[in-house]
Amino acid sequence: MDMDNSINIALVAHDNKKKDLVEWFKWNREALKGKVIVCTGTTGKIIEKEFSGDEEFYRVIKLKSGPLGGDQQLGAMISEGKIDVLIFFWDPMQPQPHDVDVKALLRISVLYNVPTACNRSTADYIISSPLLKENYVPQKSEFHDYTEREI
């Protein structure tokens, strides 16, 4: 997985929110040009299918489906500094069989100070921010006290 110096945007959507995410992607297709799009499995397949022929504008990296470990793969990428923005349209009205993975993913995005949108309005604010066009580097969290604690 070659993730050069591009801006890497993770897209995730629960089943009932996949249509919303595709609409959001269509609406923001110009702002997403040149970005690396990292998706969990099913979301990635939908994005690829919907936007086939646009490969010169979008590079899509598909992980496993969320319930099959994709959420955890994405969390690992966040902890390794490989994700710049997380757009996660999750469904608060539908219980998820992998809810613990979803919570872990959201927790890790906050822990590593990754801009995270859980709904369309917030995603619109993030994608339209002038900071996305700059070489913005969010403040890194310091874990020295934790990693160097006496055991």
Residue 34 CB contacts under 8 Å (≥ 6 apart), including other chains:
6, 7, 57
Q: Quote the distance between the C-alpha of residue 33 and its chain's center.
A: 16
Active site annotation includes 54: no
Closest to 106 measured CA to CA, from 128, 83, 129, 140: 83
CA nearest neighbour of 37 among 15, 57, 65: 57
- Which one from 71, 84, 99, 101 is the annotated catalytic residue? 71
Dihedral of CA 68/107/19/32: which sign?
negative
Kindly list the catalytic residues.
Answer: 71
